[in-house]
Structure 1
């Protein structure tokens, strides 16, 4: 395989750096500073230049498992994984604090924190304040209270959501592989690195293999998904080998040896981005063909007359999917009414809402300002 050349890194003032378990887990169990030291030096160098960084770090489960090395835990058991995550959070944070001259703050996020608009904005304000007082936020999913059906699942996608949350200019993903390849370089000696990706197409996604680590939950596919989310928010993503000291050091000089994923040409409005990419709700509002067509045309609110039925339960202010008669999602939005009320007003005219419910929060089930269309 040909050596990957350096390329300019986009200018940035605020970035999110994601570090996976494969860079932190020691061969004999527990955590090791072997690769974290160089990454921490890059963070410190960037902070000295007046830049801001949010760290999304894995490693808690690996650290917890090492502390209970004598016990054979059934890793498929959710409660055991949650216990390991709770146990390992302290040593994971301690590792980063030992490598940082600045104070380190732990921020644990859940699916509901990112799905609920109010909590999403609270998390945003907290992270921004931590950056303002020159603290290094270390973000992770709150595995201890998550349940399988509501888990974010991997820190690659969490990092992309956090990048949009804090209005980052750049998403940095430290991996154990040099770049995106057109084939698995561990199995194919002719695999070629791809230094620049203008758009993540189905063909690019097809290049992704599975996870190459026994301790992590992500693989190349989740990294591409994260880059895709970041691109939709106008954020570039740099994928690089966090085990290569020269590669990490070059980042501080504005040079990347890895794959650069370019953002979309136009930055999506932050609120619309959140509506599309916050973790999905299990609930949905089914609409008729006419309403689906009106929504697809843009600029329309979802009115009760176009509602056919409701799938699942939700409350006023929740984020729900809007699906057409075939079950295809056409939009996502914040509902003005709970599921019980929407069922009662389905198919009715907006002027009938007060008479049916005894009150009204307005004529729309989902107002157009709280609605984002799904790309077709």
Structure 2
């Protein structure tokens, strides 16, 4: 079925998106990489930035680029070590391809499973990505194949993109594929297959459209795309699947239109975030704040700055979820601390501009950033989730 027969649909307004581009859209027929399909996607990223939107790119292609460079003068195997070597060799040309298509600087960010399950490294990765976006740099994320091993690998860049979308608090996950939508069956094998333009819930019936569990036969690797959509949905992020080989589809995205399949989010992004902050176990530590901080935090739109901290008690590390209480010990909020207990204690009552001089480094101006904070109203009533 031609992609032109799929009707376009409006996307909800978004401020930040993660765009995943697979190696099948970058690999050249004769080996190496090509800009054939990447040009339209890069143009979409540039156009988005021009209207104030931010895009984080998750790109495959390093192994294909490395294989092309090595083919001429050395043999290579197919085991994990060979793949890791090819990835190391191909990272530079893959980044160079995107830099050639971007008027902005491009930065490479390599992640592993360990980086994303360790809260401190998770926060470090998020802080880096946020800073790159603030600097008007295009982050290009890939799995760090050179150090990952089988039992620790994220597995594929579809799922990595979903994790990154949650990491950067994205409003939308975009998956550029070699197929233009989710179909009722594999359109390459079944002429009666029809495109599904919207999926409100990833039911077993929907998952079956991508082949059974563990199946190697799917609609263009659709199984991992549905897995990614499920991860994004759980984080309150919708997923848009479209053909990366159709420049018109990329152009429509810039106009707020999707020609493909939209996977709805299970709940709003803020609802998902607040739910996690409400129910996740907290570290045995507390941050005591003054009346001014209590008032500022009550609105749910302010971060906790060092100047509002009276004292710090208990034990916690950078990235831990901690309770925030007023001078009388009453709960005010809970959130992820940017600093460990010893650091927060040294910063209590100080101005944010003093952080680096006091510690010799800075993880940011906030003790707890507003995006990582749930107020007492969120915790006790859930009012901010409605």
1:260 aligned residue? 262
d(CA) in 1 for partners of 2:120 and 2:23? 31
CA distance in 2, matches of 1:183, 1:269: 32
The equivalent residue for 1:240 is 242
- How many matched pairs? 281
Distance 1:271 1:90, change over 3 A: farther
1:221 is aligned to 2:223: yes
**Mapped contact 2:234–2:272 kept (Cα < 8 A):** no
1:38 counterpart residue number: 40
Partner in structure 1 of residue 253 of structure 2: 251
**Is this contact kept in 1: 2:108–2:139, CA < 8 A?**
yes
How do 1:35-184 and structure 2 match up within 5 A? 35-70=37-72, 71-75=74-78, 77-184=79-186
Whole-Å separation in 1 of the counterparts to 2:88 and 2:28: 19
Maintained 8 Å contact 2:133/2:139 = yes
Measured after TM superposition, the shift of residue 212 of structure 1 is 7.9
Residues 299 and 173 of structure 1: CA distance in aligned 2, closer, same or farther (over 3 Å): closer
Please say if residues 58 and 140 of structure 1, whose CA atoms lie closer than 8 Å, have aligned partners that are also in contact: yes
After TM superposition, the score normalised by the length of structure 2 is 0.68
Structure 2: state its 5+ residue gaps.
283-315, 320-386
Question: Within 2, Cα distance between the matches of 1:172 and 1:52?
Answer: 13
Please, what TM-score do these two structures have when normalized by structure 1? 0.70
- Once the two structures are superposed, what CA deviation does each residue of 1:44-100 show, in whole Å capped at 9, x if it has no partner? 00000110000000000000000011344221x111000000000000000000000
Change (3 A) 1:300 1:137: closer
Aligned 8 A contact 1:164 1:270 in 2: no
Q: What does the per-residue CA deviation read over 1:257-305, in whole Å, with 9 as the maximum and x for residues that have no partner?
A: 000000013445438769xxxxxxxxxxxxxxxxxxxxxxx8999xxxx
Residues of 2 paired with 1:26 and 1:299: CA distance? Answer: 46
Classify 1:158/1:299 alpha carbon distance in 2 versus 1 (closer, same or farther; 3 Å). closer
Listed one character per residue, the Cα deviations across residues 156-178 of structure 1 (whole Å, up to 9, x for unaligned) are 00000000000000000000101
CA distance in 2, matches of 1:8, 1:107: 31
How many angstroms apart in 2 are the aligned matches of 1:250 and 1:179?
15
- Residue by residue over 1:30-54, the C-alpha shift from the partner in whole angstroms, topping out at 9 and shown as x without a partner, is 0000000110000000000110000
Alignment of 1:27 onto 2:29: yes
